[in-house]
Amino acid sequence: MTRAAARAAALAATVAAAAAAAGCGGDADRGGGAPRTLERTTRVEVVQQAGDAPAGFDPQGIYRRESPGVVTIVASGFGGSDQGGLGSGFVLDAGGEIATNAHVVTTGEGRAIRKAGVVFVRFGDGNQVGARVVGFDPFADVALLRVDPAGLTLHPLVLGSLRDVRVGEPVAAIGSPFGEERSLSTGVISATDRDIQSLTGFQTSGALQTDAAINSGNSGGPLLDARGRVLGINSQIRTTSGEGSGVGFAVPVDAVRRSLDQLRARGSVRYAYLGVSTKEVYPQLAEQFDLGTDRGAYVQGVVPGGPADRAGLRAGTDRRTFQEAPWRIGGDIITEVDGRAVHVDSDVSAALLAHDPGDVIRMRIVRDGHVRTVTVTLGTRPLQSP
């Protein structure tokens, strides 16, 4: 979303006001005597999600039930600068966990990424409290925040599943586009299994595409199904004008779960790394260059010294053009990763998500028309794509 946090100067004032409010002390006796200590007994009231939603798609019902769990996030102090950011998020549990996009609470990309020094979370009932960035995943654009739940009424949203998601399924997005807090937009799932850019140059696989209106400030908010379950975190728009154009993308809930689990455990994430760049094989390409297979991921580059290089994988050296696209012909074609068939090049990265650095995998490849098996010890994905 073009780093879809609003970086306007007006946000600096918002952050400053929030900081001032957070710094206020308790009451004191007006008669000039000794300060009066206030003992506040607070209770966290967790509003459980309602049962099954009524049949059909009910945007009003979804908004009524789930919008109390959607928050606005204000961030500033990025690496010592006075930049400010505005985004969305949602409550995960009674302990005060909040999910959002990494780019809402960071600035920069790759090795230059820096987290915000000050973060506030604003709830629908008017409460605004400071938050701690537990950690962030720049590869999936997910961040985990934590607030002190004392005195707050929290409404956790339920993470859903992608198993039954279909193109055309109705969805709702709730967030703070351009600072208009807890705004609702609706649409459908336009496509699944999209690849979108992360904050590192690597692709985030499996993203959901939607025509529900998503604009700057929606980043970090939930994309919900008809039952109010979270299918993804709204993250990006594709636009040539800077405005929403009905082509928005959400980080898929499966990737969100993986990120949150690692961030809770260690405050950071680790991804398995192969060290290749690939392009999709299709029948006409296979026929043109007699590849020996009409599907798979055609290795176009191998990172020197990386896991694939050490395992002996090869990229093509013969530069050709076919159907107006450049190709390196003569390299290996990956057709299977640990028993999972590779039909398109993104299937390789999707298969690696089931593995950790240090795992040993077996890949089936086609080289010079012959099928062979290669064993690879996976490395750790670097913060910046080579």
Residues 6+ apart with CB under 8 A from 281: 291, 293, 294, 295, 296, 297, 298, 333
Catalytic residues: 103, 141, 219
What is the Cα–Cα distance from 172 to 163, expressed in whole angstroms? 18
Contacts of 286 (CB under 8 A, 6+ apart): 292, 293, 294
Structure tokens at 162: 């992608």
**CA–CA gap between residue 346 and residue 108 (Å, rounded):** 25
Pair of tokens at residue 49: 């999600």
Three state DSSP letters for 94-155: CCCEEEECHHHCEECCHHHCEEEEEEEEECCCCCEEECEEEEEECCCCEEEEECCCCCCEEC
Which residues 6+ apart lie within 8 Å of 136 measured at CB?
102, 105, 106, 115, 142, 143, 144, 263
